[in-house]
Amino acid sequence: MEERATILEAAKQLGIGIPMLCAWPEIGHNPGACRVCVSEVEGQRSLVASCVFTVGDGMVIRTNTERVRKARKMVVELLLADHPTECTSCVRSGNCELQAVAEQVGVREVRFAAEFPPKDKVIEVSSGAIVRDSRKCIHCHRCITVCEQIQTVSVLTPSWRGSDIKVGPPFNLPLNETNCVNCGQCINVCPVGALYECDDTVAVWKVLEDPAKHVVVQEAPAIRVALGEEFGMPVGSLVTGKMIAALRRLGFDKVFDTNWTADLTIMEEGSELLKRVKEGGKLPMLTSCSPGWIKFCEHFYPDLLDNISTCKSPQQMFGAMAKTYYAETAGIDPKDLVVVSVMPCTAKKFECRRPEMGDSGYQDVDYVLTTRELARMIREAGIDFVNLPDEDYDAPMGEYTGAATIFGATGGVMEAALRTAYVLVTGENLGDLNVLPVRGLDGVKEATVPVKGIGDVKVAVAHGLGNARKLLDKVQAGEGGYHFIEIMACPGGCVGGGGQPQPITDAKRTLRAQALYMDDQDVQQYRQSHENPSIQKAYETFLEKPLGHKSHKLLHTHYTRRGVELPHKK
């Protein structure tokens, strides 16, 4: 029997907008908890939650009666009575679902005061990546759902009851003492400002104003297809040139690109894969670009750590190369060089502070900004982003190929690696550089690529840690026969990262990814990482060769068995 629609779904089909806060239609999360979406059903004494009450033949439903309007307004007033009145200074100011719903239901005053304020409402910053401001939590349970059902990490849970209810880790643990992987997907679904990234803008402003510091910046590929949304541009706008211009106006001494080290990653990672295949190394090899995925594996699948590529992520490769190769080339003392990253990812804030990320002799990457933080800095500086003229990257770490830019979409790392690995083995290009089977938003994707001299190479791609768990369980069971697996922590890959403009939907993930594929196919001169002239020069003059002594020291790393303090509920 086909599942019946809820009142909320049926109303939407008819063009009727019902206010909601806890519902998250994209994944069918309808807990009926907030009661904002109540409607009146003939024959029912009480008002019903539209997100959970299903419609039936002959049912008479009223979504706009005096009783309904009063009830919705009262629910929102009660929420606001127990909510900090910090709207003008809140990180979600102007983009807050509670603000929007209050306007929708017509709240002009709050008639209630919180008589029993919940206990233990704190601002918690222990992870260094994610801030939990439980004072602003409205108990919609969206963060619980994404953490448990989508990411299968299960760090967040409801505790206590009534006015004492709170959402957070069990036993009131700080995030840094849990299995939290810092992916930030909880931030993306939070309707208010109860979850957001640790802010590094103040520290970055400070170094930009320090004349003794030479400050360089790198930007992940997913930034250029999302940043425009913060300034009212259409979803999926490719704003590379405007982004570069804005960064220069903020005061960065050099504007480089993480894509440069994405190409470098493919040279190292592709060579590592071939070495493992030819010499009987640990297979399947797993990608290492996503720090949220790495920490997930360290907690939940420590027996697979030897399968992960030893390559650092492109962000961390960039930091190591900036403080050695670039510093040497430019004649700059690396102690005076500051590396700032702009990333779609909150987990990158954790990654840059991992103790092993200092092979340059210094902390390789000093500060990480999210897309949202960069947008705030641009607005603070009074820059008219939309009307900026396009500018180009600086040399030598700004040149990149189309293979690098598609790193931002799920399947992109795999596709880029296959393009170059095929050439390294056969001396020929793939028949079609567009590896379509690894594209798209299917949770797990597979492909088989025939390679002369090796045979069939079987690969798989997963995005979102729940999908990664399905794939890794197969690997542990000895199933699949894969040679190479790409895993990204965030749904959709980096385009859906925890630091991207909110809200995020599958439609937005798709449009952002399409813009990256367009950049690859229609904009870039080169589409394979080994074709990048400045990468070739870096090997000739500095690194010597992939997997060589110097590249291994600067560009490769190791991982930590963290164990499982709070196992996922199966």
Examine residue 569 and state whether it is found in any structural domain, yes or no: no
Give pLDDT tens digits for 487-535: 999 999 999 999 999 999 999 999 999 999 999 999 899 999 999 999 9
What's the pLDDT tens digit per position in 363-406? 999 999 999 999 999 999 999 999 999 999 999 999 999 999 99
pLDDT score at 3: 66
Using CA atoms, how far apart are residues 215 and 211, in angstroms rounded to an integer?
10
Residue where one domain finishes, among candidates 71, 105, 139: 105
Name the residue among 270, 530, 279, 310 with its Cα closest to residue 418: 270
**Start-to-end C-alpha separation, the chain:** 27
- Token pair 């010597």 is at which residue? 544
Q: Is residue 68 part of a domain?
A: yes
Looking from the CA of 155 toward its CB, the CA atoms found within 13 Å total 26
**What number of H helices and E strands is found in the chain?**
19, 16
Q: Are 489 and 188 in contact (CB under 8 A)?
A: no
Burial class (CB in 10 A: 0-12, 13-18, 19+), 353: middle
Q: Which of 198, 228, 247 is the last residue of a domain?
A: 198
Residues 227 and 185 in one domain: no
**CATH code of residue 433:** 3.40.50.1780
CATH number at residue 36: 3.10.20.740
73 and 133 housed in the same domain: no
Catalytic residue IDs: 269, 272, 289, 309, 348, 351, 356, 494
- pLDDT for 564 beyond 80: no
User: What element of type H or E holds 343?
Assistant: strand 337-343
Long-range CB contacts (< 8 A, 24+ apart) of 232-235? 232/386, 233/386, 235/507, 235/508, 235/511, 235/512
Range of the domain at 65: 7-105
Amino acid at 549: H
Q: Does 295 share its domain with 368? A: yes
Same domain, 193 and 217: no
245 and 389 share one domain? yes
462: phi then psi, degrees, rounded to nearest 5 = -135, 140
High-pLDDT (> 90) share of the chain, %: 88
Please give the structure tokens belonging to residue 427.
């001396």
Residue 264 and residue 555 in contact, taking contact as beta carbons nearer than 8 Å = yes
Count: domains in the chain: 3
pLDDT band, residue 570 (cuts 50/70/90): very low
Of 516, 530, 449, the residue nearest 484 (C-alpha): 449
Q: Please provide the average confidence, as pLDDT, over all residues in the chain.
A: 94
- Is pLDDT above 90 for 352? yes
* Greater model confidence, 90 or 568: 90
Question: Residue 224 has what pLDDT?
Answer: 98
Same domain, 31 and 159: no
Q: Whole-angstrom Cα distance, residue 318 to residue 359? A: 12
Pick from 491, 366, 379: nearest CA to 91: 379
Which residues are within 8 A (CB) of 94 and not within 5 positions of it... i.e. 6 or more apart? Answer: none
193 and 252 part of one domain: no
Per residue in 287-310, pLDDT tens?
999 999 999 999 999 999 999 999
203 lies in a domain?
no
Please write the tens of the pLDDT for every residue from 134-168.
999 999 999 999 999 999 999 999 888 777 788 99
Indicate if 31 and 146 belong to the same structural domain.
no
- Residue 372 Rama label (left phi>0; alpha psi -120 to 50; beta): alpha
pLDDT of residue 567: 44
Q: Does the structure show a pLDDT above 90 at 116? A: no
Strand partners, 455: 451
For the segment 247-273, the average pLDDT, to the nearest whole number, is: 97
**What is the rounded average pLDDT of the residues 28-33?**
83
Q: Do 369 and 482 fall within a single domain?
A: yes
| E strands in 430-530 | 444-451, 455-463, 484-488
Which tokens is 286 given?
Answer: 């797993």
Are both 150 and 268 inside the same structural domain? no
Confidence of residue 1 (pLDDT cuts 50, 70, 90): very low
Is residue 20 in some structural domain? yes
Quote the pTM value: 0.94
pLDDT in tens, 271-289: 999 999 989 999 999 999 9
pLDDT category of residue 115 using cuts at 50, 70 and 90 = low
Which tens digit of pLDDT belongs to each residue from 423-482?
999 999 998 999 999 999 999 999 999 998 888 999 999 999 999 999 999 999 999 999
CATH code: domain of residue 161: 3.30.70.20
pLDDT at 161: 77
Strands 455-463, 444-451: pairing kind? antiparallel
Q: Are 230 and 375 in contact (CB under 8 A)?
A: yes
Residue 563 counted as domain residue: no
The rounded distance, in Å, linking the Cα atoms of 342 and 352 is 12
| Burial class (CB within 10 angstroms; exposed 0-12, middle 13-18, buried 19+) of 569 | exposed
Q: How far apart are CA 523 and CA 513, in angstroms?
A: 15
* pLDDT of amino acid 4: 82
Same domain as 433, residue 302: yes
Task: State the pLDDT confidence band at 566, using cuts at 50, 70 and 90.
Answer: very low
Q: Between these two residues, 116 and 236, which has the higher pLDDT value?
A: 236
Q: Which of 22-31, 259-268, 273-282 has the lowest mean pLDDT?
A: 22-31
Q: Name the DSSP letter for residue 194.
A: S
Q: Any bridge partners for residue 445, and if so which? A: 461
Average the pLDDT over 247-264 and give the result: 98
Instruction: Report yes or no on 110 lying in a domain.
Output: no
What's the pLDDT tens digit per position in 189-206? 999 999 999 999 999 999
Q: Is the peptide bond before 118 cis (omega within 30 degrees of 0)?
A: no
* Residue 2 identity (one-letter amino acid): E
* Interval 312-333 mean pLDDT: 98
Separation CA 2–CA 291 (nearest Å)? 40
To the nearest 5 percent, what fractions of the chain are helix, strand and coil?
Answer: 45, 15, 45
Give the per-residue pLDDT at 121: 67
Strand ranges of the sheet holding 455-463, from the earlier edge strand across to the other edge: 285-286, 484-488, 455-463, 444-451
- Note whether residue 227 is domain-resident: yes
Neighbours of 457 (CB within 10 A): 20
Kindly tell me if the per-residue pLDDT of 565 is higher than 60.
no
pLDDT, tens digit, for every residue of 49-102? 999 999 998 899 999 999 999 999 999 999 999 899 889 999 999 999 999 999
| Same domain membership, residue 512 and residue 438 | yes
Q: Quick one: DSSP state of residue 128?
A: S
Q: Is residue 560 part of a domain?
A: no
Residue 453, pLDDT score: 82
- Separation CA 486–CA 474 (nearest Å): 14
* Domain end residue (candidates: 131, 166, 198): 198
Neighbours of 432 (CB within 10 A): 7
